[in-house]
Structure 1
Amino acid sequence: MTHTKSLPRAVRRATRVSMAALAALVAAVLALVLFFPPPGGSFHPTAWSPGPGFSVDEAKVDRDLAGTTTPYVGEAVRGPEDIEIDEHGRPYTGTQDGKIVRVLPSGDTEVLAEVGGRPLGLAFGHGGDLLVANHGIGLQSVSPQGEVAVLTTRAGGRAIRSANDVAVGSDGTVYLSDSNPKYNSTEIPGLASYSLYDFLEGRAAGRVIAYDPTSGQSTELVTDLHFPNGILLSEDETALLVTESTRYRISRHWIAGDRAGERETFLDDVPGILDGITRDESGLIHLPMYDRVDALDRFVLPGTLLRHVTVRLPPAVLGAREPLSGSILTVDAEGETVRQLTGFHPAVSNIALLDGAYLLGTLEGAGLRTVTVPHRSSAAAAGSGHTTCSSAHLWVPWPHGSAPA
């Protein structure tokens, strides 16, 4: 009887404790929001509820191929975010510590140049120099002898703070994505990626810049983009495809012809966080992407309160988790899914196409890797020598003399 009579008192005590804990939590959240300024200055997030991501037909999903990746140069290169291949079949990549590395036919690596910052997108310009989209610096060039030059650091009266990818037109025009004007290694040092902060603010602040190598002038070509990342010119060069990482989509921007100045969505509600974009000889478009973060999609992005809280967490907390896993989505010229290769860990950031293989880039957590490419086109399989792809990558033989196992 004593126990029974005391039960309501115990319940009331537990309720008081729970209410006190809740009040303490609310007070802590309010204190965090009111007294701890967010990085990057003013923060005015906008809510957005993402879709779940479109489903890929199970018959088009390969869950096993990722397990067959093999090291290319392994630990010798850290953070090879993008890869470009020269006319001699030698891959080039940028590293986390600001170097441009070239892989020799022997399999050895050499440092071509130290460019500082965080080299991301790469492409060869018409003069043979390697163009570098360098996060926190801008657009650079590296000569075959390793001489480094800064081509542009500003466009539209603003600094280029988050250079990400680069593509080159047949007339020599260089297209450069500038992902975000606020969040980069200058403002928040030490992170592998700054897209989370763009996710949290939720505003279209990125742009694509056109650089004229003849005049040296840089202009804003496209604005109001959500973390523009990979760039791909259409085969007739009338449009640009741009991966918008923090909106799970690819947008198409017409830059020439009757539709110049128009934009449209090419692919929406992609089941991953897009990074690079590459087209092969057969016209297929390959899209490396990171797995979505369910808690971010379900709880943080649909409102603004948790955006305010999350952005104020220490960068070490936000960047402390293991690198994300990911997949490679392949679509045709109309955006229809051809296949999805899943289970890559860490996720693939960019790919270069080699004879019978992908050469895989990654933001962090691995060196260069390769994986055999399934379902290659007969035209590509029959080809020999070095054939230029429309993505500015090359379709080249395995540089070590034989295809990987």
Structure 2
Amino acid sequence: MAPAGAIVAGLFLLAALYCGTDPFNHRPMAKFPGFEVYPVELPPWSELPAARDAENRLQKAELRFVNQVQGPESITFDPLGRGPYTGVADGRILFWNGESWSDFAYTSPNRSGLCDPKPSLFSYLENEHICGRPLGLRFNKKTGDLYIADAYFGLLKVGPEGGLATPLTTEAEGVPFKFTNDFDIDEDGSIYFTDSSFNFQRRNFIQLVFTAEPSGRLLKYDSVTKETTVLLRDLQFPNGVSLSKDRSFFVFSEGNRGRLSRYWLKGDKAGTSELFAQLPGFPDNVRTNDKGEFWVAIHCRPTRLAYLLSIYPQLSKFLLKLPIPARMQFLLRLGGRLHAIIAKYSPEGKLLELLEDQQGKVVRAVSEVEEKDGKLWIGSVLMPFIAVLTLE
């Protein structure tokens, strides 16, 4: 064999050995050796929503509180209009009093020095189960209580004065919540919420995305009877929840399936669900404005690779067995960069408006959109700021 050929053969052998043994545990699923990957039901590629924001209007957003808030997923205002309030990566809920941020509430009774500020958002993942990770936030407008969906401590509430939140529910049908995510509160006190997985915790959200495991649940907590019931199961990364203005239904998002579904509460279809809208990307939270329209936060559009991996799970499983780190595989599926999308839908499920930052120059990621006084307050579980866009 020629020297060049021997070198190539040797390099190939080393590469095969490295991929086969993964000596540095770079495989995304290294901690989940028995993992499976599940197919995702999607429309044909040609039928996915193709609308674009040619003006990239999200690039006009103002970035506020840069490096003052880490991972502010959900944003809310109290019944007096004060705020915003937001949950951050170290487990606290913070309150903006108009001049500065102050601690308002927290979800974990076990906070310690482990929860002190860290240099990056991903630095918090290791201790999230100790410090707590508040995701969805909503105020009860009648009582002033703040309700919290904490990824690790379930559904909780805290009074208008703040402090340590009180757990309301942490399991359903004997199965503990692993990834409590978002919710909305009905006028009768019923709370509709999502548990994104009963196997993967939030600190393993990338693995949940990769496997598309159908272990998510849609649930109801009755604040009168204190009972928790499962409304739907076998969901693929259920996330945001928001009631319609007339309270006849609510919509919820499924991250892997890239869609909104409607769950009927009243009428002939009560207790059933149906497709509400196929989205142009992978959704997070949903919020209803005063007109009854739904703002949907969308992390990014699917690439052709992400689409193929969703419908061909064995291909995805092969890729996940390669020693390519999770973050690299995540970016690969996103097309190499974060690029935020916000969509607004009518109560009938019609797309009304689309806002984008296709280059990810300003609003690179978005988890929630709260409309207030002609402005969109944009939170992100991945960014160290809140973006604010004035509506035209």
Same fold? TM cut 0.5: yes
Q: CA deviation at 1:114?
A: 2.4
Find the partner of 2:146 among 119, 130, 135.
130
> In the alignment, what sits opposite 1:140?
156
> In the alignment, what sits opposite 1:394?
none
Q: CA deviation at 1:122?
A: 0.7
Equivalent residues in 2 for 1:168-207, closer than 5 Å: 168-185=185-202, 191=203, 194-207=204-217
CA distance in 1 between counterparts of 2:104 and 2:238 reads 28
Mapped pair 1:300 → 2:309: yes
CA distance in 1 between counterparts of 2:345 and 2:188 reads 27
Equivalent residues in 2 for 1:81-100, closer than 5 Å: 81-90=73-82, 91-100=84-93
Mapped pair 1:120 → 2:135: yes
> In the alignment, what sits opposite 1:350?
368
> In the alignment, what sits opposite 2:99?
107
Change (3 A) 1:294 1:25: farther
- Contact 2:195–2:218 (8 Å) recurs in 1: yes
> In the alignment, what sits opposite 2:221?
211
Q: CA deviation at 1:181?
A: 1.3
- Contact 2:36–2:317 (8 Å) recurs in 1: no
CA distance in 1 between counterparts of 2:298 and 2:272 reads 26
Aligned residue identity for 1:238: S
Mapped pair 1:70 → 2:62: yes
Q: CA deviation at 1:99?
A: 0.6
CA distance in 1 between counterparts of 2:12 and 2:309 reads 19
Equivalent residues in 2 for 1:3-402, closer than 5 Å: 14=5, 25-26=15-16, 28-31=18-21, 38-40=30-32, 42-48=34-40, 50=42, 51-52=44-45, 54-57=48-51, 61-90=53-82, 91-104=84-97, 106-116=98-108, 117-125=132-140, 126-147=142-163, 148-185=165-202, 191=203, 194-268=204-278, 270-292=279-301, 294=303, 296-298=305-307, 300-301=309-310, 302-310=312-320, 324-343=338-357, 344-374=362-392
CA distance in 1 between counterparts of 2:266 and 2:215 reads 23
Identity rate, percent: 26
Change (3 A) 1:208 1:98: same
Q: CA deviation at 1:124?
A: 1.5
RMSD: 3.0
Change (3 A) 1:369 1:260: same
- Contact 1:131–1:141 (8 Å) recurs in 2: yes
CA distance in 1 between counterparts of 2:33 and 2:250 reads 32
CA distance in 2 between counterparts of 1:294 and 1:21 reads 31
SS of corresponding position for 1:300: helix
CA distance in 1 between counterparts of 2:69 and 2:220 reads 30
CA distance in 1 between counterparts of 2:308 and 2:330 reads 19
CA distance in 1 between counterparts of 2:81 and 2:48 reads 37
CA deviations over 1:10-33 (Å, ceiling 9, x no partner): 6x964x765665565555545459
Query: Gaps (5+ residues) in structure 2?
Result: 109-131
- Contact 1:56–1:337 (8 Å) recurs in 2: no
Q: CA deviation at 1:212?
A: 1.3
Max Rg structure: 1
Aligned residue identity for 2:198: P
CA deviations over 1:119-140 (Å, ceiling 9, x no partner): 0001123532101000111111
CA distance in 1 between counterparts of 2:33 and 2:185 reads 34
Aligned residue identity for 2:169: T
CA distance in 1 between counterparts of 2:171 and 2:40 reads 30
SS of corresponding position for 2:188: coil
Tell which deviates more after alignment, 36-45 or 225-234.
36-45
SS of corresponding position for 2:161: coil
The runs of at least 4 consecutive aligned structure 1 residues that moved more than 6 Å come to 319-323
- Contact 2:79–2:144 (8 Å) recurs in 1: no
- Contact 2:184–2:193 (8 Å) recurs in 1: yes
Tell which deviates more after alignment, 244-253 or 123-132.
123-132
CA deviations over 1:306-347 (Å, ceiling 9, x no partner): 325427755576679997221111222222222211105321
Change (3 A) 1:24 1:335: farther
> Matched residue pairs, number?
352
Change (3 A) 1:348 1:256: same
Change (3 A) 1:19 1:242: farther
CA distance in 1 between counterparts of 2:314 and 2:280 reads 23
Tell which deviates more after alignment, 284-293 or 19-28.
19-28
